[in-house]
Amino acid sequence: MKILVGIKRVVDYNVRIRVRPDGSGVDTDGVKMSINPFDEIALEEALRIREAGDAEEVIVVSLGGNECQQQLRTGLAMGADRAIQVDTAEKLQPLTLARAFLKLVEKEQPGLVILGKQAIDDDNSQTGQMLAALWGRPQATFASAVTLSGTTATVVREVDAGLETIAVDLPAVITVDLRLNEPRFVKLPDIMKAKRKPLEVIALAELGITSENNLQVTHHAPPPVRAKGIMVEDTAQLVTELKNRGLV
């Protein structure tokens, strides 16, 4: 069985985000870029499934320009067998991403597609669900535990009310949550080996996909500066301040 894993190039989660002075976007000059943390967890889970003998091949996929090859090589260094870059200079929306993934699914015929539940830059949390709908296969989102048994995957999901356990038939789409696993560290010998692993580049147009950007972001702005707090003498003053601010 093949496992297809989607990864996205994002600003590292440890970096303080800066908005450009003209509000046209986020300043990425000299900023560390990494694999989206949820996608890294998805890749780690795919590797563990392969190591347990339930899969033969793990393929990492990223959509973007040549800069995303850095993250694909990191995925190969973690242990993926090969990588696919869908080359495009456009910022794609979830439905276009799902359609592109569907073309790769039709080409590779994986038994499982694992994605992060969302990307930390746009927080859409839509691509996995849309892919499952287009593919006509089951989905299990927000997974905190995954167990494979033959042609069935048992998934523990994190929901508002607690935990929910479901079983889905394979092939299926699974999106993962933070508590699923702890991704492994990449060692230098693995980085050197990754340079020799195959990385295929496919233009978005070759998949027969055109970008449909129905949503346009016109302006970016940082969060407002938090107002300085005050010290109150007693409960009565606290209640007075809350009333003055219209909070009670």
Domain boundaries, the chain: 2-244
User: How does residue 152 score in pLDDT terms, banded at 50, 70 and 90?
Assistant: very high
Task: Quote the mean pLDDT of the chain.
Answer: 92
Structure tokens at 2: 């093949």
Neighbours of 41 (CB within 10 A): 23
What does the alpha-carbon distance between residue 18 and residue 24 come to, in Å, rounded to a whole number? 11
Mean pLDDT of 5-22: 90
Say which amino acid occupies 8: K
**Two tokens at 162?**
């607690």
Measured CA to CA, the distance from residue 116 to residue 222 in angstroms comes to 26
Across the range 184-197, mean pLDDT stands at 92
| Mean pLDDT of the region 28-47 | 94
CATH classification for the domain delimited by 2-244, as one of 3.40.190.10, 3.40.50.620, 3.40.1180.10, 3.30.450.20 = 3.40.50.620
Pair of tokens at residue 115 = 């994605």
Distance CA 86, CA 202 (A): 5
| Predicted confidence (pLDDT) per residue in 47-100, tens digit | 999 999 999 999 999 999 999 999 999 999 999 999 999 999 888 889 999 999
Kindly state the average pLDDT of the residues 35-52. Answer: 96
Which residue is it, tokens 């990864």? 7
